[in-house]
Structure 1
Amino acid sequence: MSRLAEHDVPVRVGSRRGEPPFDWQDETTWEPALRGIDAAYVAYYPDAAFPGAAQAVRSFADLAVASGVRHLVLLADRGSAEAERCEQAVRESGAEWTVVRVGFITQNFSEAFLAELVRGGVVALPAGDVREPFTDAEDIADVAVAALTEKGHAGRIHDITGPRLLTFADAVGEIAAATGREIRYLPVTSEQFVSSLTGRGVPAAYATQLADLMTEVFDGRRENVTDTVESVLGRPPRDFAEYVRKTAATGAWDARAGASDGG
């Protein structure tokens, strides 16, 4: 939102606390949120790769076009079949469209359950030794803003990655080195992963869908890097090490952080 404000673009935030409120699970909130809008950034919650996302995105896109929206910018997952169906829905909507494809977002390591795992010293994921081009959320935001505010992005797929491939063991190792703590990566089965999450209070349905997504995309299909950030923004993508250095300095991964914030 702040980036769009810098472009002197009026912005309406689509959230449950927005004005008017917007909820992906309540279609009655969609039309009021679309009134007077000519471009929309479509980021399905909880994820464009989750079951049901494509149908919701198709319904939203159709309503958006009927409401006068001329350009849709979709946030999609690299390599996910459901996200590909979301892309198709937007392409067939009749609006100008841009797709912003991303893989595993770097900031996931300092949010929600994954931050808890890092603080606990063991990051257990059903990802094996696959390599991932971890993508910084700041790069995603900058590319999305460019697509929304500049000409030349209609009909394009912006496949965003970080600058290098790392296994999850590599990534966790960099976090451990930056924090000076013993933190290790533990590859687990999908069943073990779901059990771990539900034991932490994560709803079983969400845990299962997340495990299914990881099983789908962490098979090597995303083991490549692109030059999209540089071609769109004229600068290299942010490296994982930069994120790790800045986040470690905040103390977010300190073992005591979970206790101090109620986690």
Structure 2
Amino acid sequence: MIVVTGATGNIGRSLVDRLLADGAAVRALTRDPARAQLPAGAEVVRADLTGSAADFAPLLAGADALFLNLAAGGDRAALALVEAAAKAGVRRIVLNSSMAVTDTPADENNFIARMHATVERAVRDSGLEWTFVRGGNYATNALAWGPAIRESGVVRDAHPGAQGVPVHEADLADVAAVALLDRTGTHTGQAYLVTGPEALTVADQVAEIGRAIGRETRVEQITEEAAAEAMSGPHLPKEAALELVRMFGSTVDAPAFPLSDAVERVTGRPARTFAEWARDHAADFS
């Protein structure tokens, strides 16, 4: 049995589909099973991961492996789940971590890196088998441009020339699935930096979405302050958002992270391009 947190999220939904296709038993955790629309083959369980650690035991009963995503409940919930998994006899954790983690003291200077590095340390210290999937430049981040593209075709961003290596959520799910299903130990103790196959600027990505939907799209530059204000929310304080915006600004000359072939090395096939992602999500921008 594989327990999937964040089962209705972009990565989790793809992961549930992939695991079921491979014949695995899946327990998919969600706050609202009635609205989850997950496959009938999954055991869909109501779970509020912001509850106490004692509430997690039934969720992990009989499980061999756990896919842990901080987006499902935050870092405190993730730490409690790691502890509960060890007590429940779970053998393996695959953590959806962040490419911001560098395994150096610099991790303490970055909000995103610090949060994920803390959970990584807890997983390592748990004594369980582990694999870290360090993504972060998610292609799905572009979904935030949906309202602007639908309304006017104009995306407002502080750094149109910022470069990234956007990765398709299905590729992150595929890498996680291989690690969760690993029977040889090949992926135990591995931290995979998972990227897309090409570096693209924000302007490149917006143009690619335009091609996918058959409309003219462009980027209009705004201040860093305005960009952080638009990005911030209940789970991302404005200070952290401004930190991210400034980090994006540092990638105008070159991507913050090198291209990685982890998708191909782990899954045996090339990573999906952003153009493929844009076509897959054309309905979200139309």
Sort the TM-score into its range (normalised by shorter chain): 0.7 to 0.9
Percent of aligned pairs with the same amino acid: 32
Aligned to 1:70: 91
Q: Which 5+ residue runs of structure 2 have no aligned equivalent?
A: 1-15, 34-43, 101-111
**1:17-46 deviation per Cα after TM superposition (whole angstroms, max 9, x unaligned):** 355422221125322211111210001126
**Whole-Å separation in 1 of the counterparts to 2:29 and 2:223:** 36
1:90-129 correspondence runs (5 A): 90-110=123-143, 113-120=144-151, 121-127=153-159, 129=161
**Whole-Å separation in 1 of the counterparts to 2:86 and 2:223:** 43
**Whole-Å separation in 2 of the counterparts to 1:235 and 1:205:** 34
Question: Which residue, 33, 42, 45 being the options, matches 2:59?
Answer: 33
Aligned to 2:105: none
Tell me, yes or no, if structure 1 residue 145 matches structure 2 residue 166: no
Tell me, yes or no, if structure 1 residue 16 matches structure 2 residue 31: yes
- 2:229, 2:238 within 8 Å by CA — same for their partners in 1? no
Could you tell me how far 1:243 is from its partner in structure 2? Answer: 1.8
Question: Which residue, 132, 148, 152 being the options, matches 2:164?
Answer: 132
Aligned to 2:36: none
Could you tell me how far 1:124 is from its partner in structure 2? Answer: 2.3
Tell me, yes or no, if structure 1 residue 226 matches structure 2 residue 260: yes
Tell me, yes or no, if structure 1 residue 215 matches structure 2 residue 245: yes
Q: Which 5+ residue runs of structure 1 have no aligned equivalent?
A: 255-263
- 1:161, 1:226 within 8 Å by CA — same for their partners in 2? yes
**Whole-Å separation in 2 of the counterparts to 1:87 and 1:99:** 8
1:169-248 correspondence runs (5 A): 169-196=203-230, 203=233, 206=236, 208=238, 211-212=241-242, 214-215=244-245, 217-218=247-248, 219-220=250-251, 222-248=256-282
Give the TM-score normalised by structure 1.
0.81
Could you tell me how far 1:207 is from its partner in structure 2? Answer: 6.1
- 1:57, 1:90 within 8 Å by CA — same for their partners in 2? no
Change (3 A) 1:217 1:21: farther
Could you tell me how far 1:205 is from its partner in structure 2? Answer: 5.9
Alpha-carbon RMSD: 2.5
Question: Which residue, 74, 78, 88 being the options, matches 1:57?
Answer: 78
Matched residue of 1:13: which SS? strand
- More moved, 25-34 vs 73-82: 25-34
- More moved, 176-185 vs 156-165: 176-185
1:77-96 correspondence runs (5 A): 77-79=98-100, 80-81=112-113, 82-96=115-129
- 1:161, 1:228 within 8 Å by CA — same for their partners in 2? yes
